[in-house]
Amino acid sequence: MSTLIQWAKVAVIDVGASRVLYEKLYTFRGDNDEAWDHARMFVSREVRAALAAALAPAQATAAAPIGLAVFEFELEDNSAAPASGLAGSDAAYLADVTSGVRDRLAQSGRYRLVDTTGATAEPVKARALRDCNGCEAAVAQQLGADQSLIGVIRRVSRTEYTVGFQVRDARSGAVVSRGDSGLRMGADYSWTRGAIHLIGDRLLEGGAQR
């Protein structure tokens, strides 16, 4: 503009995504070398800070998925006349719940599912992980997982139930996420839908801790 006032326009473009990451017009004194050096350092700091903020979400998305051991969902039957043992129909519906939840978690890209078929601990075989005071974390660690997830269907009546889940850090045993659906209406065929909704709402959309 003159020997005293200078303008500088800076633009950073992501060529692959065809989008502008940063663009700004600067005005500065430019009547000597010291002024130009000052402008260069100032613009450099601003551009680097802006790019770090712009790229942070992409870097977080690209982080390695969490190794998660999703154990078979368990049934806690609080209905008026619970059957002795796990009925065949209940077992089939619980298998559907577990499969549906695992599929939902795998599709999110946030988790790498760890195979739990090799777990031989008694609470796993008895489907009683909900009562073992967090022992599922140690079992998950033995399987090579970063975290464990246990889920419980609590049947209140033949047409009422709740869903709950709990995620623990495999190393420390600390609870990193949990959720409860509250009372839901529906027979056993609706368990899967309720569990998938809860996992999506409380774990995936609510965020997960490493």
**Tens digit of each residue's pLDDT (9 = 90 or more) over 8-32:** 888 888 887 778 878 888 887 777 7
> What is the pLDDT at residue 56?
65
> What is the pLDDT at residue 11?
87
> What is the pLDDT at residue 82?
56
- Sorted by sequence, the CB contacts under 8 Å of residue 48 that are 6+ apart come out as none
Bridge partners for 7 per DSSP: 27
Ranges in the chain, pLDDT < 50: none
> What is the pLDDT at residue 54?
67
> What is the pLDDT at residue 38?
75
The pTM assigned to this predicted structure is: 0.68
DSSP 123-187: HHHTT-GGGSTTHHHHHHHHTT-SEEEEEEEEEEETTEEEEEEEEEETTT--EEEEEE---EE--
- Sorted by sequence, the CB contacts under 8 Å of residue 70 that are 6+ apart come out as 98, 101, 102, 105, 113, 116, 149, 151
Nearest to 174 by CA among 206, 143, 128, 140: 140
Are the C-beta atoms of 147 and 175 separated by less than 8 Å? no
> What is the pLDDT at residue 206?
67
Cα gap 194→191, rounded to integer Å:
5
